[in-house]
Structure 1
Amino acid sequence: MIIIKAGGSAITKKSVDFTPNMEVISRLAQEIKEAGRVSILVHGAGSYGHPIAKKYSLGKGYFDEYQLKGFSETRASVSELDSIVLKSLMQNGLTPVKIGTFSNFITSNGRIVEFHKEPLLRAIELGLLPVLTGDLVFDRTRVFSILSGDQIVSYLSKLLKPSRVIFGTDVDGIYTGDPKKENVKLIESITEENINEVFKFAKDTGDASGGMEGKLSEILPIFDMGIEIDVINLTKKGNLAETLRGNVKGTIIKKKNLSK
């Protein structure tokens, strides 16, 4: 089983609100179809979710009635992106099925505490491609919270124990600093020997590789289970296809004492 996380920074245009990157979405669907080995796809919300969530401070949870308009707008916008992704997958001969994040997850203080897993398990058993997305969900302490695609991937990895997890972003992998700046290097391999150092890079830069500090915190539990995690640039043609074949074009995160 392979789980793919398609980052919102890759499948949407960050500089233009509510705009999909159709080239990346179409290629993602094509390469998943060609590989025929992907079991679950999780995608981020990108420019469909973040602008409204920021405007209404939805990440802080519920504190004022005016946020409810933003809650509704965000959910509708994320659903729109989800429909675009599903349509592209179907156009490429796949049989995707939406597993609703809002209806199936409950959080407490922003962390998953409840997941209705039967729809997902039945979809996998039937041979469908489950598709999930980062979204707003109800929260037992904050009323609602933003549940990221990265946290969903981490949770599902603990539940299903896939052979590999692939994170597709808009940069080439994990770096020694912010990849949008000069004088940083791509880290091709992360093991138990250097993972703490990598966390320090991410913390010191504040945003090493498009929010990589937060991503690494969700990756760590997957790493601890001995599962291989690959971080690649989804915006580059063929990167996902090559990675699915075992020729990783990016950063490999894996315990050293495990066989390749």
Structure 2
Amino acid sequence: MAKKRIVIKIGSSSLTTNQGKLSEKQMEHVTQMIAASYRDNYEVIVISSGAVSAGFGEMGYPVRPQTLKGKQAAASVGQTVLMRHYQDRLNANGVVSAQLLLTRADFTDEERYHHMFNTFDELFKRGVVPIINENDATAVDELTFGDNDMLASLVSGFIHADQLIIWTDVDGIYNGNPLTDAHAEKIYSLTGLPAELIDGIDNSSSSSVGTGGMKSKLSAADRALSMGVPVFIGNGIHQHAVHDVIAGQGNGTYLYPTTDRPMKTKKQWIAFHSDIKGSLTVDNGAAEALVENYHSLLPVGIISVQGEFIEGDVITVYDSDGNLLGNGKAGISKNELATMIASGSSPASKTRTAIHRDDWITIKEEKKGESL
């Protein structure tokens, strides 16, 4: 029987004291939970914040720094402190861990993307628990994941996790802010996530040490669901908390994808990570062939070409009304396509493939969630 693969996202609030410093007690709770999950025969992947919290006191800051350079300096010191806590405690429980510091470029570059997958695969085969964080010491805004919630979501899809668990400081999703609204009601489960829930959520958090509130968690959950990964958002870290979540007894909200077909790793890269080089506008027949019939796109159905791209680049496709259909890898360069379109219907336009169906991913409008 295959092991269940579980991605666990640990936020700073789950690792720190009220003063924002790393808590020995909280670290013990978290590592005992990871070790118990490992003993329960789960493949565990940890996305852990906490580098800044672990580092600012070591540098002599009286409080958590607020400037970018202060945060990045604290992260560079704190990441080694944080990993030492993880490794010492996990080793004491017979668990070997590995550190991976990821950047957006590890996902956007296709070759690095595949190498990263191979690294994870080898760690899993060797029974090693990967502990992942963004490389906060060097990351800049335009090259970041936004927060570790989104990083956890992308990793969960990338490694085809059976469950993403996002630990937070509230016991799930509410239809209002439970800290300020006495009438806010808890949502115990949903299939899909309605856009109005994400847009209308109060993004405030009781924590002052994290970077993402509930809205960021829902956005990350929505991305994971689109890749076929179930999500749990809640609190209550203890030794057997992961087992309880998998058994349906977690203290939080369960979110389920609308499809039971996980998105292939290759198509995740095309949909979410690739650098878009251009776009095509297609007629109604080509749009139907791509989206409804899962056929490849032939040049004969293309109305216009935008941008500069060569064979193998990722491009976006729109219908004649300007609606987004999806992304795909170009099978023909922009210049060749433009020549085909200008010359009208030709044998090549009916036989060559502009986007092969194996290199295509439909990006549909979000559907409303259904409450269970």
TM more than 0.5:
yes
The CA deviation at 1:159 is 1.7
* Structure 1 unaligned blocks of 5 or more: 59-66
Q: Deviations over 1:97-151 (max 9, x none)?
A: 222x1xx4245xxx95345514333212322111112441545785x75763222
- The CA distance in 1 between the partners of 2:214 and 2:195, in whole Å, is 14
Structure 1 residues 40 and 23, CA gap change in structure 2 (3 angstroms): closer
State percent identity of aligned pairs: 19
Match for residue 22 of structure 1 among 4, 18, 27: 27
- On the 8 A contact 1:178/1:209 being kept in 2, the answer is no
Which residue number in structure 1 is paired with residue 163 of structure 2? 164
- Which residue of 1 is the match for residue 132 of structure 2? 132
1:4 aligns with 2:8: yes
Q: Is the 8 A contact 1:10 1:234 kept in 2?
A: no
Name 1:37's counterpart in structure 2: 42
Is residue 105 of structure 1 aligned with residue 100 of structure 2?
A: no
Q: Note closer, same or farther for the CA distance 1:153–1:182 as it changes in structure 2 (3 Å cut).
A: same
- 1:3·1:40 contact (CA, 8 Å) conserved in 2? yes
8 A contact 2:162–2:230 mirrored in 1: yes
- Taking a change above 3 Å as real, the CA distance of residues 237 and 119 of structure 1, as seen in their structure-2 partners, is closer
Q: What is the CA-CA distance between 1:80 and the residue it aligns to? A: 1.2
Cα shift at 1:165: 1.0
Instruction: Output the TM-score relative to the length of structure 2.
Output: 0.55
2:157–2:229 contact (8 Å) kept in structure 1 = no
CA deviation string 1:126-181 (max 9, x = no partner): 22111112441545785x75763222212212322212111122221112222333
Find the counterpart in structure 2 of residue 93 from structure 1: 94
Rounded Cα–Cα distance in structure 1 between residues aligned with 2:107 and 2:54: 19
Task: Give the equivalent residue in structure 1 for 2:83.
Answer: 82
**Residues 130 and 46 of structure 1, relative CA distance in 2, 3 Å threshold:** closer
Return the match for 1:242 from 244, 248, 261.
Answer: 244
Q: C-alpha distance in 2, partners of 1:15/1:106?
A: 31
- What amino acid is aligned across from residue 48 of structure 1 in structure 2? S
- The answer for unaligned runs of 5 or more in structure 2 is 208-212, 262-372
- Total equivalences in the alignment: 240
Compute the RMSD of aligned alpha carbons.
3.3
Residue 206 of structure 1 corresponds to 203
The 1-side partners of 2:227 and 2:188 are apart by 20
Matches within 5 A, 1:180-199: 180-183=179-182, 184-192=184-192, 195-199=194-198
Q: Provide the rounded CA distance (Å) in 1 between the counterparts of 2:240 and 2:228.
A: 26
Cα displacement string for residues 28-75 of structure 1 (whole angstroms, at most 9, x for unaligned residues): 2343234221331111227616978973532xxxxxxxx2x6523222
Structure number with greater CO (CA < 8 Å, separation at least 6) is 1
Whether the 8 Å contact between 2:51 and 2:75 is mirrored in structure 1 is: no
Query: What is the alpha-carbon distance in structure 2 between the residues aligned to residue 140 and residue 180 of structure 1?
Result: 32
What is the rounded CA distance, in whole Å, between the counterparts of 1:239 and 1:209 in structure 2?
22
Call closer, same or farther: CA 1:135–1:49 in 2, change over 3 Å: farther
AA at the equivalent of 1:206: N
Deviation sequence 1:204-232 (CA, Å, 0-9, x none): x2326760111211221111122211112
Q: 1:222 to 1:146 in 2, by over 3 A?
A: closer
1:12, distance to aligned residue in structure 2 (A): 1.9
In 2, the alpha carbon distance for the partners of 1:148 and 1:7 equals 10
Q: Which amino acid aligns with 2:96?
A: T
Q: Give the secondary structure class of the aligned counterpart of 1:136.
A: coil
SS, match of residue 136 in structure 2: strand
Task: State the partner residue of 1:62.
Answer: none
What is the match of residue 119 of structure 2? 119
**1:105 & 1:258 partners in 2: Cα distance?**
29
